[in-house]
């Protein structure tokens, strides 16, 4: 009986091996390779960075439109503020904020500047919210200050750049338009979007587009 038992056990082992060979392989998903910031940078982003962004956003549009005639003092004026980008499709999106600096020639010349240091929240592979750095620069060029339809000092300028969060690349280019605010142009706001009424922005993800969502806005205060 012992010999028979041994033979039976051997048969069972063979069946087990056969079943195992016919099983479904487990596929491990590729890790999400994000530019996750340090804990210190995360604290700064959630605290002073977002707080200062909110202050600039709300202050930049105070005081009504800056009149074009009489115009604010002529010459080149520096503005400091933020650029916010919203870019997305059905599966990937970015809602990011970066530091923006602009040199605005109130004598009629072009606007120059850039936005960089973009940060935003996104989910990692464990479905945890992380503060992520979006590396790259968005250039600000061209346009200028002209008289708007309301008699205010209208401003427009082009933007062009790409941001990489370690997993995806978000591209944006087009034109932002808006106004100077305050008696002497103490603040500015300019925006553009893909689709809708303006349709003056082109946004891509990993080189493909246009994507359904593409919005860019700059708020800044005169230095």
pLDDT at 31 over 70: no
In a domain, 33, yes or no: no
- Which pLDDT value is given to residue 32? 65
In a domain, 6, yes or no: no
- CATH of residue 103: 2.40.160.90
Greater model confidence, 73 or 30: 73
pLDDT at 196 over 90: no
pLDDT tens digits along 146-192? 999 889 999 999 999 999 999 999 999 999 999 999 988 999 999 99
- Which pLDDT value is given to residue 149? 86
In a domain, 24, yes or no: no
In a domain, 177, yes or no: yes
Total domains in the fold of the chain: 1
- Which pLDDT value is given to residue 108? 82
- Which pLDDT value is given to residue 14? 45
CA–CA dist 47, 31 (Å, integer) = 29
The CB density around residue 38, as the number of other CB atoms within 10 Å, is: 10
C-alpha closest to that of 191 among 163, 158, 168, 215 = 215
- Which pLDDT value is given to residue 74? 75
- Residues spanned by the domain of 115: 39-222
In a domain, 71, yes or no: yes
In a domain, 26, yes or no: no
In a domain, 1, yes or no: no
Chain mean pLDDT for the chain: 88
pLDDT at 30 over 70: no
Contacts of 159 (CB under 8 A, 6+ apart): 83, 115, 138, 139, 140, 172, 173, 174, 175, 176, 192, 216
Stated pTM of the model: 0.84
In a domain, 167, yes or no: yes
pLDDT tens digits along 114-151? 999 999 999 888 889 999 999 999 999 999 999 998 89
């Amino acid at each position: 009986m012992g010999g028979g038992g041994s033979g039976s056990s051997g048969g069972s082992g063979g069946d087990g091996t056969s079943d195992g060979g016919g099983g479904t392989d487990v596929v491990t998903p590729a890790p999400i390779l994000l530019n996750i910031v340090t804990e210190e940078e995360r604290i700064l982003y959630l605290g002073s960075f977002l707080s200062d962004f909110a202050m600039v956003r709300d202050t930049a549009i105070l005081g009504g439109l800056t009149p074009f005639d009489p115009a604010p003092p002529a010459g080149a004026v520096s503005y400091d503020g933020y650029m916010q980008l919203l870019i997305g499709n059905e599966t990937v999106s970015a809602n990011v904020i970066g530091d923006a600096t602009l040199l605005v020639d109130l004598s009629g010349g072009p606007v120059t500047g850039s936005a960089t240091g973009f940060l935003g929240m996104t989910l990692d592979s464990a479905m945890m919210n992380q503060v992520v750095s979006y590396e790259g620069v968005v250039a600000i060029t061209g346009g200028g200050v002209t008289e708007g339809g309301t008699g205010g000092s209208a401003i427009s300028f082009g933007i062009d750049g790409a941001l990489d969060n370690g997993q995806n690349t978000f591209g944006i280019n087009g034109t932002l338009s808006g106004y100077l605010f305050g008696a002497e142009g103490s603040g500015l706001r300019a925006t553009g979007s893909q689709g809708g009424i303006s349709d003056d922005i082109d946004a891509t993800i990993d080189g493909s587009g246009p994507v359904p969502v593409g919005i860019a806005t700059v708020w800044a205060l005169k230095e």
